[in-house]
A and B are shown apart, each in its own frame.
Chain A
C-alpha cells in the first residue's frame, strides 16, 4: 500500500478551512480586548523597591486556617501564572481550602537592580516579607510554598531561618541540577556566565525566552500556532490562548549578580548535591530543614525533570517528608483542569493537617 493518500479535493478543503478559521479568528482577535491576568481580588500589603507582597481576599464561606501561606514564585516569568483565569487558578484553589494566601511579586528588575544578590533576595526581601506576615498575624512561624526557582529559594530560606517556617511545600523545584535528562543544565555548562553577566549587566528576558523555546522549537514556535487556528472560532479559547501567550513572553530581566550566582552555583556546580550552597557569607545546610516538607513534581516536566525534584528526598532533616507526583508538565501543574482537581486540594489538605 502506498502510504500517502491525500486527495486534491481533501487538500483543498483543508486549505479552505484554514483560511476560513483565520478569517473568523481575526474577528475574535479584534474583539478580544485587553488580556487580563491575575483574576482573584487581592491587596498590596507590603512594598519594597520593585517587590510587592499581595494578600488574596478570602472567600467568606470557607473556614480559615490560622497559619498563613506565603507563595514564593521564580524570578523567571511572572507569578500571575498561578492565577491566570477563574477556572484555572492555583491561588483560588488554595483559598478554597482555607489558606490565607500571600504572594511575592518580584516586579521587573532593571539595570539599577543589577547588583542584587541571592543574599539580597533570600535574607533580604523574602525574610522581610516573612517578618511582615509574622507580625501581622502575631505568629512565630508561617507556611511557605515555593514554585520552581522560588522553590529553590524557599529551601535555602527555610534552611537558614528554620525558626520562621512551620511547613514547606515545593512545587516543580530543581534540587539536583545535573540529572542526565536536564537539557537546560547541559546547555549551560559551556556558557561563560561571568562573560555574559559582565557584558549584559542584567540577563535579558529575551535570552531566557529563546532558551525555553529552544527546548522544543518546532512545537512551540510552529505547530502550536497551526493548532491554534482550530480554536480561533471560539472567543473564550482565543482569550485563554492569548493569556498563555502573554505569560510565556512576559519574561522579566534577571538581576545580573543573582543570575551569576544561581547559574554558576546551581546549574554549573550543583550546589545542593555537592553541599556547596551559600547565601551571602552563610553556608546552606538542607539538614537544617526540620519542618514537614511536601515536594510536588510533574512527571512530564521538560524544564525541571522529575528526578531533579525527587533528589530532595533524604536531603533535608525533616522526619515528615511527602512526595506528590502530578501526571503533567511544568505549566500544566498550575493551569490544567486536572491540577485544579488534584494538586491544590492536596496541598490544602496536607497543610491543614499540619497547621
Chain B
C-alpha cells in the first residue's frame, strides 16, 4: 500500500501517538509513573522478613508494624540519600562537592527538574509526602468512590481550557437538567483537581526550602566543628528542619487559603455527587439522604420539646408535692355550689349552638 493511501504512515503514527498519550495520561493519573521500585539489600531483607512473619500477625499489630517498617525505610532511605559517596569523605577529597550535589539533586527533585528514576531521591520525596499521604488516606476513608490519589497526576492546566469551553455549552432538550448536573459535576472535579495540585505544589516548595534549611544546618555544624556521626542524628536533624520550615509556612495566610480551597473543593464535589445519588435513589423510589435528614430534624425537634415538657412536668410535680397538704374538704351540702337546674343547662347548650352557627356563616 502506498504512503498516499488513507492509512498512510502518518495516520498510523498519529494513532500510535494518540494511544501512547492516552496510556501515559492514564498511568500518570494512577500515579504509576516512575514506580520502578528497586530495593537496597537492607530493605530487601526487611521486606523478605515481613513477608514471612506478617501473615501470622493479627490485623491491628500488622498495620502498626507495617507503619514502623515504612518509617524505617524512609529513615534509612533518607540517610542513604544524604550519605552516598560520603563515607571517608572530607573537605579535601571533594566531600563538600558531593554533599552539595546531593542537596542540589534534592532541590531539583522538589522543583520537578530531576529526570529519571533516582531511587534514593524518590524515597526522600516519599518522606516529604507524609502530609499529602495523610490527606489521601483521609479522602479515601470519606469517599470510597474517590481514592485519595485520584486525579493527582492528571494534567490539569492542559485540559482545563478545553473542558471549560465544553462545559459552557448549554444543555438541550428533554435531558437538559441531567446534562447540566453532569456539567456541574465535571466542573467540580476540575476545581478539586486544581486545588489538590496547588496543595501539592505548595508542599514541593516547602520541600525545596527544607533542603536549604538542612544545607544551612550542616554548614553551621561544620563551622562549629561538630560532626553528625549517626544515622539517627542525621534523620532527627532532617525532621527538625522539615518541621521548622513547615511550621513557618503553614502559618501564613497563603497556606490558609490553599488549605481552605482544598477542603472546600472536596466538599463541593462530594455534595454534587450526593445530590446525584439522591436523585437516582428517588427515581428508584428509595429513601434519599435529604429525606432522611428532614426526618432527623423533625424527630430531634420533637424530642427536644418532649424532654422540655417532661422536665417542666417534673418541676410541677415536685412543687405540688412540696405544697402543704390541703385542709380536709367540708362535705356539708350547704357548702357546695348548687347544681344548675336542668332548664338552665339546656339554655347554655342552645346558646353554644347559636354561636357555632354564626361563626360558620
Contact = CB atoms under 8 A, between A and B. Distances in A.
Interface in A166-194: 183, 186-187, 189-192
B61 interface: yes
Interface string B251-264: 10101110111011
A245 interface: yes
Contacts of A319: none
Contact of B218 (A3, A26, A115, A226): A3
A1 B222 contact: yes
A349 interface: no
Nearest to A208: B138
Contacts of B271: 195, 198-199
What range describes how many residues of A lie at the interface?
35 or more
B274 A199 contact: yes
Contact of A196 (B95, B99, B232, B263): B263
A219 interface: yes
Contact of A25 (B46, B65, B247): B65
A23 to B, nearest CB: 7
Nearest to A192: B264
Contacts of B255: 187
A195 B87 contact: no
A275 to B, nearest CB: 25
Nearest to A195: B267
Contact of B246 (A217, A223, A245): A217
A221 B58 contact: no
Contacts of A225: 67-68, 71
Interface stretch (B73-81, B116-124, B162-170): B73-81
Contacts of A112: 296, 299
Contacts of B110: none
A228 interface: yes
A7 B53 CA distance: 31
A207 B142 contact: yes
B72 interface: yes
A222 interface: yes
A287 interface: no
B24 interface: no
B87 A8 contact: yes
Given A4-B99, A206-B142, A217-B131, A245 B64 contact: yes
A111 interface: yes
A226 B57 contact: no
A187 B72 contact: no
Contact of A26 (B53, B131, B246, B256): B53
A5 B221 CA distance: 12
A270 to B, nearest CB: 16
A22 B69 contact: yes
A242 B63 CA distance: 12
15 contacts: A3-B219, A4-B218, A4-B228, A5-B227, A11-B231, A15-B231, A26-B57, A29-B57, A29-B64, A186-B251, A187-B255, A189-B256, A190-B257, A213-B134, A223-B236
Interface of A: 1-8, 10-11, 14-15, 18-19, 22-23, 25-26, 29-30, 32, 111-112, 114-116, 120, 124, 128, 183, 186-187, 189-192, 195-196, 198-201, 204, 206-207, 209-210, 213-214, 216-219, 221-223, 225-226, 228-229, 232, 242, 245
Interchain residue pairs A-B with the least CB separation, the first 7: A190-B260, A115-B300, A3-B222, A210-B138, A225-B71, A199-B271, A217-B131
